[in-house]
Copies of this chain bind each other. A is one copy, B any other.
Amino acid sequence: MSRPAEITAFAPATVANLGPGLDVLGLALAAPGDRVTARYAEGPGVTIAKVTGDGGALPLDPATNTAGIAATATLARAGIATGVSLTLIKGMPIGSGLGSSAASAAAAAYAVNLLIGSPLRKVELVGPCLEAEAAVSGRHADNVAAALLGGLILVRSIDPLDLVRLPVPDGLVVVVVTPKMELSTRAARAALPKDVPLGSLVRNTAQIAAFVSACYSGDLALLGRSMTDAVATPARTPLIPGCAEVIEAALDAGALGSSISGAGPSIFALCRSERSAAEVAAGMVAAFAANGLSADAVVSPADCPGARRA
C-alpha cells in the first residue's frame, strides 16, 4: 500500500480544568476544532505553508507556531528526518480558553504521524504536543491530552506522563460560551496566586475527588456540586466581565455546574440533556450581553473523540 502524499487531520477544542482540576482535567468537544494538512516537502524540517482562519495572528515560523513545534517534535520522536509542509485552518478563536494552541498541535502531530506511517501510538503524541504547549502557554497537558485522545482525561503526572481516562456519564452535555474578547493565556496564568491557603487545597482536593467519583457513579447532582473551585476561578473571575453572572445564569437555567473554561474567557457548563443545554446556553449568552459582550455558544456531547483523520 502506497503512502498518501498528504494527510489532513482534525483536533477538537477542549475544556480544561472543569472547576477544581487546574492543569489536570481536560475534556474534548465535538466542535469547533483545527485542521492541519501535512505533506512531504523538500527537507529537512517542517515548514508552514499557510495559516487561515486566524485573522493573521499566528506566526508562520514553525519554531513558534504550535502546529510547527508539535510536527517537528513528532518527527524527532519518531526518529524520521524528512521535510514536511503544513497547512493550518484555524476553526476557533485564539486566546478563548478553548485550547486553541493544543488543537493546532494535536492536529499537526496526528497528521504528521499518519503521513510517516504511524510509527507512534496516539498517546505518544502527547509529549510532542506538550512541547508545543510549553512554548506558548505553559507546560500543562490537560488540553493536549484531551484534544488527542478525546473524552475526559486526567493528567496524573507530566514527568513521567501518566494519563487516566475517566468515564463520562451517559447523556452529559457541555455548553461553552465564548465572549468576543481575547484573554491571553499568559495573562490568565499570571493572575493565578503563587501560593494558596491550605484550606483551599483541602477544598479543591475534596472537590476533584467527588467529581471523579461522580463520573464513575453517574451521580449528576454530585458532579455539579463538585465543580466549584477555590483557587483559579476566583483569581480569574475579575478578568472576565460578567463572569460570576454568567455562571449564575447557567445554574439558574438548570446547569449541573459551571465554571471558567481553561484560562478563559470562555465559560462552560455541564448539563443533563440537550434540551437543558439549550436553555443554559441562552441564559449564559444573555448574561454576557447584559455585561456588554456578545458571545457565541457551542453545545456538544461530553464524550467526543479526539484527533482524527479529516
Contacts and interface: CB of A to CB of B under 8 A. Distances in A.
A206 to B, nearest CB: 4
Interface string A210-241: 11110011000010011000010000000000
A70 interface: no
B196 A156 contact: no
Interface in A111-157: 154-157
Contact of A194 (B24, B198, B204): B198
B164 A202 contact: no
A283 to B, nearest CB: 26
User: Which of A20, A24, A25, A200 has the most B CB atoms < 10 Å from its CB?
Assistant: A24
B209 A211 contact: yes
A201 B166 contact: no
A193 interface: yes
A164 B210 contact: yes
Nearest to A140: B202
B164 A205 contact: no
A181 interface: no
A208 interface: yes
Interface in A161-206: 162, 164, 166, 192-198, 200-202, 204-206
A97 interface: no
A117 to B, nearest CB: 32
B156 A207 contact: yes
Interface in A82-121: none
Contacts of A164: 209-210, 213, 222
Interface of A: 20-25, 154-157, 162, 164, 166, 192-198, 200-202, 204-213, 216-217, 222, 225-226, 231
